[in-house]
Amino acid sequence: MPEGPSLVILKEQTARFVGQEIVRAEGNTWAIDTARLVGQPVVSLRTWGKHFLIQVPTMVVRIHFLLFGTYRVDERRDKPPRLSLGFADGGELNFYACSVKEIDIDIDACYDWAADVMSDAWDPALARKKLRAEAKKNADALVCDALLDQDIFAGVGNIIKNEVLFRIRVDPRSTVGALPPAKLRALVQEARQYSFDFLEWKKAFVLKKHWLAHNQKTCPRCHIPFHKAHLGRTNRRSFWCERCQKRYG
C-alpha cells in the first residue's frame, strides 16, 4: 500500500468526509487521544509523500502505513483497527497496522509540498538543486538512495525507484555526482512521471503487470537476467540490467 500514488487514491476515496463531523473515534492507537477527535469537523484530508494527514480544528493526525498498513472505507477488516473514524453520514474510515501520530497543527510550516512528487506544488528544479547539493556533500551518494530520500522525492518508494532507474537506463549503483545533467534531469522527471503512471495503473488494478524491473527476472529490453542485490544505506532490493542500464561514477 505505501507509496505516494496509493495515498492519493486514499485521499480521493475519502474526499466526501471533508467537512463532515467525526461522530466516533476509537482504535488501539496509543499515540493519540481519540476522544479529542469526536465532535470535530474534518477541515482537510491531505497527503504529503507517504503521509496521510487528517486535519480538524484543534489537531492534525498523521497516518503512515509503513510496510504493512492498510485501510478500509465504509468496511471493516477482521482485525482490530489502529484508528477507526465514524462520520455524520454513517460512513467510516478504518486504519490498520499503521503509525498514528499527532503532528504540529501548522502543517504548511512542517511540510515542503514542493518535495512531494504527487503534489501540484512539485518543483523539479528544486529537486535537481537538492540532488546537486547532496552530491557535493557526499561524493559517494548513490542514485538508489537519492530516489528513496523523502526530503527530495517524498512519496517515492522501492517499486518506483526500480522502475525509474530502468526507464532512464541508469544503474542503481551510480553516484549522483557522476550523472550527466541530462540524466539528472531525466531522474527527476521520471520520478514524477512514473508515479503518475503508477497511480493510473493502480486505479485500474493493473499495476503489477506493468512492472518492467521490480521483482522481475529478465530484462524486457535485452532478454538477459536482471541483477538483483540489496543496495544503499537501507539495503533495499534493486533490480537492474547490466547491459542497458549504465553505471556512472
Partner DNA sequence: CTAAATGTTAAGCC
Partner DNA sequence: GGGCTTAACATTTA
Least distance to DNA, CB of residue 77, Å: 6
Kindly state whether residue 234 participates in binding DNA, applying the rule CB under 7 A: yes
- Would you state the cell numbers that stand for residue 150, as one nine-digit string? 523523502
Query: Which residue pairs from 24-27 have beta carbons closer than 8 angstroms and sit at least 24 positions apart in sequence?
Result: 24/84, 24/85, 24/86, 24/92, 25/83, 25/84, 25/85, 25/86, 26/81, 26/83, 26/84, 27/80, 27/81, 27/82, 27/83, 27/84, 27/95, 27/100
* Interactions with DNA, residue window 132-151 (CB under 7 A): 148, 150
Q: Mark the segment that binds DNA (CB under 7 A) among 40-48, 173-181, 231-239, 240-248.
A: 231-239
Residues 156 and 3: beta-carbon distance below 8 Å? yes
DSSP-derived pairing of the beta strands 99-103 and 92-96: unpaired
Cβ nearer to DNA, comparing 1 with 42: 1
Candidate segments 18-26, 65-73, 172-180, 187-195, binder of DNA by CB under 7 A: 65-73
* Shortest separation between residue 155's beta carbon and DNA, angstroms: 8
Contact between 6 and DNA per CB under 7 A: yes
- When the beta carbons of 161 and 167 are compared against DNA, the nearer one is 161
- Which of 50, 130, 183, 192 binds DNA (CB under 7 A)? It is 50
To DNA, the closest distance from the beta carbon of 204 in angstroms equals: 15
What are the cell numbers at 9?
Answer: 487514491
Q: What are residue 85's DSSP bridge partners? A: 25, 93
Contact 162, 228 (CB under 8 A): no
- Within 113-132, which residues bind DNA (CB under 7 A)? none
Distances from the Cα of 208 to the Cαs of 137, 160, 198, in angstroms? 36, 12, 9
Question: Toward DNA, which CB reaches closer, 86 or 157?
Answer: 157
Closest CA to 124 of 165, 161, 153, 147: 153
Q: Which of residues 178-217 bind DNA (CB under 7 A)?
A: 214-215
- Shortest Cβ 12–DNA spacing (Å): 17
**175: contact with DNA by CB under 7 A:** no
- The residue ranges that bind DNA (CB under 7 A) are 1-3, 6, 49-50, 64, 66-68, 70, 77, 79, 96-97, 99, 148, 150, 157-159, 214-215, 230, 233-234, 236-237
